Structure 1
Amino acid sequence: MASPAKVKTLTTSDPHAVTEALNPKTTKFEFAGPIGALGVSVVTPVTLYLLHLGCSEISGGCPPPLLSLPSTLQSSRWLNAMWDTNVFLVYLGWYAYCLLCWRVIPGDWVEGTVLRNGGKKLYKMNGFACGLLTLGLVVGIILHHGPLSFTYIYDHYLALVSASIVFAFFQACAVYALSFRKGALLALGGNSGNVLYDWFIGRELNPSFPWADSINFDLKTFNEVRPGLILWLLNDISCMCEQMVRRGRHAWPTDSMILINLFQGLYVVESLWNEKNILTQMDITSDGFGFMLAIGDLAWVPFSYALQARYLAFTPRELGWVQSAIVFALNFAGYYIFRVSNTDKDNFRHGKNPKNNLKSMKTARGTELITSGWWGLSRHPNYWGDWMMALAWCMTTGFHTPITYFYIVFFVVLLTHRAMRDDEACRNKYGDDWDKYKKIVKWRIIPYIY
């Protein structure tokens, strides 16, 4: 494994002038400004709790009877389940384990995009190996000790949610404070001067700790892939183990539980395998790291995304061959669109067009925009595939409750908002060429619909 080179930096005789030039004041707010930032900061953790309250055995069902909600909220069982110091220490141990895996497991060092200061950061890509090791350890534990040995996540679900929220809050405060150190490169959207907004959106582009620069550790990419994404997979497995324990000795999980673990497991493993692709995503290239990304990576992904598996753990559903086949076909049709479109984009971006089958439009910047294939049908075909997969995941729970379909509703809102942000960024980047491109590729996500 090649050792990482030092990150290039722009030098000047007046570093204060460079800092001022590279870190202009943010004048345009997202999420309706500080009020919206406060709202999202409160609503996100509250929603995680509400999803558990609205769909769990503690509350009495999915959804629970309305008359039982007041007594459930006052129940010492539900309140006690929200915090456990031992569980918080377990969560810290999990995060430390992920850090250790990043440090000791070999991986390729990949350059990111050019930063505003003219340099590039180096990123260690070993997420797939970290995930494979973790999965191997978990499977070994289950095979040796049985499914009861891996129900801890399910049993301490609410306390783990609280632990991840607290840790995300701590991280956001720490990186905000560190962003005021000399020489920090700030995010263009996070330097407004409003403490709440900048803390939420992320003031620094690539937050760093005193010990991190010497080993090229990047908190943002680390959080994006490892602790939350792998924990999502482990959460699903824990829910499957819980269902197996309830169904009795030597019982198999239901077809619906197998499908949700297969679908989401493939999604996680595929994301880890293609880890380097995140280096060109908006989260990494332009967004700062604040509470928005911290709670999204550490709490929202592993716990809200596992809603279907958790529901199936205490409400087992057998889909049967016909419904299973429909759900399976929908998921893999979406996966095909998602994977092929992303591969075409990444290959084209790196100058690879092996069959010369992708047409493009030259821009005044000297770069090109794809105008054929999946990218000729819509400007975000990968989001289209994502939506299809999201619907298939929700359908594994059948049609007995609307709560397990929260994921598809959330994903429609998330990806629509992201597509709008991306379109605005491209309009600023390409100018009139972007308007010309939109006349060629008219549809934003789904052809002839949106």
Structure 2
Amino acid sequence: MAATRRSSSRSRPLKSSSSTSSTSSLSSSSLSSSTADKTADWSSGAGALPGREAIGPLLLMLITPPFSIVLWYTSSVLKGDFMSFLSQLLTNPTFLYTIWPSFYGPSSYESWKLILTFMTFQLLLMKLVPGSEFKATTTPSGHVPIYKANGMACYIITLLTLIAIDFFSLYDISKVYINFGSILSCLNVFAFAFCLMLYIKGKISPSTSDSGTNGNAVLDYYWGLDLYPRIFGWDVKQFTNCRCGMMFWSVGEICFAKHAMNVNGGVLPVGVWVNVVLQLVYVFKFFHWEMGYMCSMDIQVDRAGYYLCWGCLVWVPSVYTSHTFYLATNGPDLTDVQAVVIFALGMLMIWMNYDADWQRFIFRQTKGECTILTKSPKFIKATYTSAGRKKESLLLLSGWWGFSKHAGYMFEVSASFFWSAPALASGLVCPYFYVIFLTILLVDRSFRDDNKCKAKYGKAWEEYSEQVPYKIIPGVL
């Protein structure tokens, strides 16, 4: 492992605290930061993309639900050809309405049954599966979010249950592929209603004092009001983000692979195998690190609204599995050499992404008392004031974090490219749409994070940026 613990008797006068930055948020200067203004635009922090006022979120809420259906239809019926879809849409303006699967009536019963069974199962696992108590970063208001660290066990139980259901012929899991358009249609309805419920709850009964408002109903619905919402003891973000979005990512891949086997005479195409295994490894890595995710920007900065919850309930199932859905019936035949090269490079990128996360994690856990690449890490001390208390953190300058502020993003995008690569040079955007989306998302997030840290740590962040000037790719961005 590139980073290891190093025992030391040295003590530090101040407790190191982590932030949502991809690096540990810290520096040598002091910056005063007060508790968040309840009417401040706290959740939509400036990034690389424009349109963060009401018009931008409103347009996104109008565009993204239909696009989730368009992506499914293009892969399912048009073999991934977006131009064919646009041609039909221009010829018939009501075309989108005609292809939208019903979310009510007998034709939707199977989809609703699948959705509610899956969600109920995940809710039960969250409560019943044992796990250690994890205390996340204390909020400016003094709230300490507490989670049960049982994600990996729930992930393994879910996949084993799915495999057992298929093995004992209890249910044909390939029906998830067959009904996927209807599933997405129903998920859209569920997610919109769920976000409305969260909006009302945030208005009348927020779970913690860390809630707030943008003073605009559209923005509040889109960005959310409650930062750490809980309902009957269940943490909403852990449910939507981890146990629905990320969990279905793997469940969907396996179900689509089953369909690929069915249409290929019981043989799983090697391209689908490469695609699915790489993603299963990646999601395994996520659940291994789930408690780290509960201290990330998604949890500590972004409120529970349309952006986060609809995104995890609909966008993740639709977009993150889109390449596998395409490959299940449209994938080209890979040679053994192509398969080995793509798989090896994909695994390398996943490992590098994990190693970058591990370096940061062990550095934070030991407060710098560790080795990275066999050497003591270089870092910048940062002091800042939060809720009237002086705190200290450290900015890591060694290992991957000496190359860029978000080295892991570069490896993450590269990994997504390689698990999409079994589509080869198809000339189509559809199987590579997730790579395009992820690139835009992470570039925007790197700007958001940079602006947040600059405001919080002031000159210390400027000092850090002088030594690590690039956000993601050294010499480029």
TM-score by length of 2: 0.82
CA distance in structure 2 between the partners assigned to 1:151 and 1:72 by the alignment: 32
Task: Quote how far apart the aligned CAs of 1:381 are.
Answer: 0.5
Task: Quote how far apart the aligned CAs of 1:417 are.
Answer: 0.5
Aligned pairs for 1:23-422 within 5 A: 24-27=38-41, 30=45, 31-57=51-77, 59=78, 62-63=81-82, 65=84, 70=91, 74=95, 78-80=99-101, 84-86=107-109, 87-145=111-169, 149-181=172-204, 184-185=207-208, 191-209=213-231, 211-212=232-233, 217-248=234-265, 251-351=266-366, 353-355=369-371, 356-365=375-384, 366-400=392-426, 401-422=428-449
Query: Mind listing any 5+ residue stretches in structure 2 that lack a counterpart?
Result: 1-33, 46-50, 385-391
CA distance in structure 1 between the partners assigned to 2:205 and 2:92 by the alignment: 53
Letter in 1 for 2:229: P
How far does the alpha carbon of each residue in 1:403-425 deviate from its partner, in whole angstroms, 9 at most, with x for none? Answer: 21111110110000100000011
Distance 1:72 1:331, change over 3 A: farther
Distance 1:281 1:21, change over 3 A: closer
Aligned pairs for 1:404-443 within 5 A: 404-443=431-470
Task: Quote how far apart the aligned CAs of 1:61 are.
Answer: 5.4
CA distance in structure 1 between the partners assigned to 2:100 and 2:142 by the alignment: 51
Letter in 2 for 1:41: M
Task: Quote how far apart the aligned CAs of 1:72 are.
Answer: 11
Distance 1:27 1:295, change over 3 A: closer
How far does the alpha carbon of each residue in 1:143-185 deviate from its partner, in whole angstroms, 9 at most, with x for none? Answer: 2339x82111101101111122222112211111111236654
Task: Quote how far apart the aligned CAs of 1:142 are.
Answer: 2.3
- Partner residue in 1 for 2:387: none
Letter in 2 for 1:118: G
- Partner residue in 1 for 2:474: 447
What count of residue pairs does the alignment treat as equivalent? 421
Task: Quote how far apart the aligned CAs of 1:186 are.
Answer: 5.6
Task: Quote how far apart the aligned CAs of 1:255 are.
Answer: 0.9
Distance 1:170 1:77, change over 3 A: closer
Distance 1:132 1:21, change over 3 A: closer
Equivalent pair of 2:143/2:208 in contact (CA under 8 Å)? no
Letter in 2 for 1:243: A
CA distance in structure 2 between the partners assigned to 1:312 and 1:22 by the alignment: 46
Letter in 2 for 1:347: I
CA distance in structure 1 between the partners assigned to 2:303 and 2:80 by the alignment: 39
Task: Quote how far apart the aligned CAs of 1:121 are.
Answer: 1.7
Distance 1:449 1:79, change over 3 A: closer
Letter in 2 for 1:205: L
Equivalent pair of 1:187/1:202 in contact (CA under 8 Å)? no
With CA pairs under 8 Å and 6+ residues apart, which has the higher RCO, 1 or 2? Answer: 2
How far does the alpha carbon of each residue in 1:369-403 deviate from its partner, in whole angstroms, 9 at most, with x for none? Answer: 00111000000001011011111122111111222
SS of equivalent to 2:380: strand
Equivalent pair of 1:394/1:404 in contact (CA under 8 Å)? yes
Equivalent pair of 1:186/1:288 in contact (CA under 8 Å)? no
Distance 1:313 1:25, change over 3 A: same
How far does the alpha carbon of each residue in 1:339-368 deviate from its partner, in whole angstroms, 9 at most, with x for none? Answer: 011011111112264325321111233321
CA distance in structure 2 between the partners assigned to 1:443 and 1:53 by the alignment: 39
Distance 1:21 1:273, change over 3 A: closer
Task: Quote how far apart the aligned CAs of 1:76 are.
Answer: 9.5
SS of equivalent to 1:113: coil
Equivalent pair of 2:227/2:302 in contact (CA under 8 Å)? yes
Task: Quote how far apart the aligned CAs of 1:292 are.
Answer: 0.8
Equivalent pair of 2:149/2:291 in contact (CA under 8 Å)? yes
Equivalent pair of 1:179/1:186 in contact (CA under 8 Å)? no
- Partner residue in 2 for 1:9: none
* Percent identity over paired residues: 26
CA distance in structure 2 between the partners assigned to 1:181 and 1:62 by the alignment: 46
Letter in 2 for 1:232: W
TM-score by length of 1: 0.87
Equivalent pair of 2:102/2:108 in contact (CA under 8 Å)? no
Task: Quote how far apart the aligned CAs of 1:316 are.
Answer: 3.5
Equivalent pair of 2:357/2:408 in contact (CA under 8 Å)? yes
Equivalent pair of 1:54/1:64 in contact (CA under 8 Å)? no
Task: Quote how far apart the aligned CAs of 1:75 are.
Answer: 9.4
> Bigger CA drift: 255-264 or 162-171?
162-171
Task: Quote how far apart the aligned CAs of 1:201 are.
Answer: 0.3
Equivalent pair of 1:22/1:185 in contact (CA under 8 Å)? no
> Bigger CA drift: 361-370 or 439-448?
361-370
Equivalent pair of 2:71/2:318 in contact (CA under 8 Å)? no
CA distance in structure 2 between the partners assigned to 1:317 and 1:420 by the alignment: 37
CA distance in structure 2 between the partners assigned to 1:72 and 1:330 by the alignment: 43
- Partner residue in 2 for 1:13: none
Query: Mind listing any 5+ residue stretches in structure 1 that lack a counterpart?
Result: 1-19
Distance 1:74 1:419, change over 3 A: closer
CA distance in structure 2 between the partners assigned to 1:159 and 1:361 by the alignment: 52
